[in-house]
Amino acid sequence: MTLMFFMIHLVPGDPARIMLGPRATPEMIADISMRMGLDQPLVIQLMKFLGNILKGDLGVDVLSSRPVTEIVFGQLPYTLWLIFSAIFGAMLIGIPLGCYSALHRNTFADRVTGVISVACITAPSFVVALYSLLIFAVTLKWFPAIGAGEKGDFFDQATHLVLPAFAIGISWVGYLSRLVRASMLEVLGENHIRTARAYGLTEFTIVYRYALKIAILPTVTVIGVGMGFLISAAVLTEVVFARPGLGKLIIESITTRNYPVVMGSVFISTGLFVISTTISDLVNASLDPRIRDNL
């Protein structure tokens, strides 16, 4: 948090000057600087900021004078929806794909999914975003191009979600399928799977109930830690699709040197990361009794 604070202040450009534009008088700049507390030493600014966080106060937006918490939490649901639909879709496709590859190891189908997965992983989200925008929104007109849809209209919001979620999720499909394939192969070679086969359990039970419950553990951890990557992918995607959200908020507030908003949104994203890793640990514990016992 402190590191982030200094990094933002290291960026050249006086926020007061940038906000007021080229025709600002020195008096106006001094006035704004005083209101933002920029005239005080950095250490004092930092202390004030940290103290306010403890009180649940992230400061006030310099431009609109609205509290930062209100602005950030207003934008947060859009980003959360985007991230969740992306990762949920990726799990829905990637995990079965990985299982399939593992069960058909070294067959033609496995190689094809392998190549496709790696291609998916290497595709940067903003490139996918731009191309899917071009193909599905502009040329084919299947999905709307920009915005997040009418408030309250679920269907409209959902259709607006498809392309951005696809742009973020596609690399995760590849990533998860590779990961699940590797851990699945490992688990399928373990002794208890041989036992399950010897007791005549069906292949479906063995793979999806006996093996997947173990093979999924690393995937859960990766998704939890992957929250950081998801947020950074969301930043770019929200800009491309002109969607409201945390990412777009961060970009806009950085360009206007709106320090309180930058700090507030980065703080909340960090919080998201902490929450998601905690959740993934809890999920793992609920899946594996050996982890549960060590908690």
Mask of contacts with other proteins, 183-212, x by CB under 8 A? -------xxx-xxxxxxxxx--x---xx--
> To the nearest whole angstrom, how small is the minimum distance from the Cβ of residue 206 to other proteins?
10
Q: What are phi and psi of 245, to 5 degrees?
A: 155, 175
Nearer to other proteins, 252 or 281 (CB): 281
Please tell me the distance from the alpha carbon of residue 147 to that of residue 178, in angstroms, as a whole number: 33
> To the nearest whole angstrom, how small is the minimum distance from the Cβ of residue 290 to other proteins?
5
Nearer to other proteins, 252 or 288 (CB): 288
> To the nearest whole angstrom, how small is the minimum distance from the Cβ of residue 181 to other proteins?
17
* Interacting residue with other proteins among 23, 55, 141, 290 (CB under 8 A): 290
> To the nearest whole angstrom, how small is the minimum distance from the Cβ of residue 200 to other proteins?
4
Q: How many CB atoms lie within 10 A of CB 8?
A: 15
* Interacting residue with other proteins among 214, 223, 246, 263 (CB under 8 A): 214
- What does 95-159 look like in DSSP terms, one character per residue? HHHHHHHHHTTTSHHHHHHHHHHHHHHHS-HHHHHHHHIIIIIIIS--S--SS---TT-HHHHHH
Per CB under 8 A, 289 contacts other proteins = yes
Nearer to other proteins, 56 or 289 (CB): 289
Please tell me the distance from the alpha carbon of residue 194 to that of residue 166, in angstroms, as a whole number: 38
The dihedral built from the CA positions of residue 247, 251, 253 and 254, taken in this order, carries a sign that is positive
> To the nearest whole angstrom, how small is the minimum distance from the Cβ of residue 9 to other proteins?
49
The dihedral built from the CA positions of residue 28, 264, 71 and 238, taken in this order, carries a sign that is positive
Nearest to 133 by CA among 38, 18, 262, 243: 243
162: amino acid identity, one letter:
V
Per CB under 8 A, 281 contacts other proteins = no
Nearer to other proteins, 35 or 292 (CB): 292
Interface size with other proteins, residues (CB under 8 A): 22
Contact criterion met (CB below 8 Å) for 197 and 205: no
Per CB under 8 A, 230 contacts other proteins = no
Contacts with other proteins by CB under 8 A lie at 190-192, 194-202, 205, 209-210, 213-214, 287-290, 293
